[in-house]
Amino acid sequence: MLVIPVIDIRNGRSVRMVEGLEDKTVYYSESPLNMARLFRKENAKVIHITDLDGAVSGKRKNYELIKEITETVGVPIQLGGGIRTIEIVNQLIRELGVYRIVIGTSAIDNIDLIADLVKEFGRSKIVISVDVRNGYLVKDGWGNITDIHALEFALGMKALGVERIIYQDVSRVGKLEGPDLDALKVIAESTGLKVTAAGGVSSYKDLKNIQSLERYGVDSVMMSRALYENKFPCQAIWREQEKIDTSLELPKVK
């Protein structure tokens, strides 16, 4: 089970959203770069970045910051947030060095874009974020609910050549109440897609429960609050090191 730390960026800072509601934003760090370095020290193999400003405006406000992270950290960076054109994807992958792109709202509003992206960049580079509330898709930074059912949408993405989705119940995001295991199983088993779980993970027990779905295609999990708030004993040594090593120098990546 691959654990993918999440760094949500708003106004150049690392934040946590609760249920996607702006008035519940919690700021964790003035430096997303330092958080990325710390997660790398904690042996992260992949890091996910959500550009929350981009998700709302569609503009690349945090471009230079994200570029610095991709050039510094030394592990693949997965990026989502307001990615709406093939030109932006081309820039992010071929100029910025982002390993994999996550598409959310644009997959709902512009189906043709997804087919073009898969054809141009390949299946491994394009991931679709299935963000749901009560089983139905939400979009525009989770602010608007649609009448599109998650399973119907995921099957449509598969027909376009998509091979991986991120399934996220936004009502669980940032609340440490556990993932929706039943929904994860249904969407993985019904679609045959590779599925990354997100939203609600709070403990080692949650990770083990998600791992039990691996045979259905749930092979990875994205986490934010539980990692930021040091919910796993193995993190303690790194967080103590963080206190005394403010430079957060990276180990050499072999």
Q: Which positions are catalytic?
A: 8, 131
Q: What is the DSSP letter of 30?
A: S
Region of 222 (left: φ > 0; alpha: ψ -120 to 50; beta: rest) is beta
Tokens of 209: 């429960």
Strands of the chain (E only): list them. Answer: 2-10, 13-18, 21-29, 47-51, 77-80, 100-103, 126-133, 136-139, 144-149, 164-169, 194-198, 218-223
| Exposure of 82 in the CB half-sphere (CA atoms within 13 A) | 17
Distance CA(10)–CA(167), nearest Å, equals: 22
Residues contacting residue 170 through CB under 8 Å, at least 6 positions apart: 19, 20, 131, 132, 133, 138, 142, 199
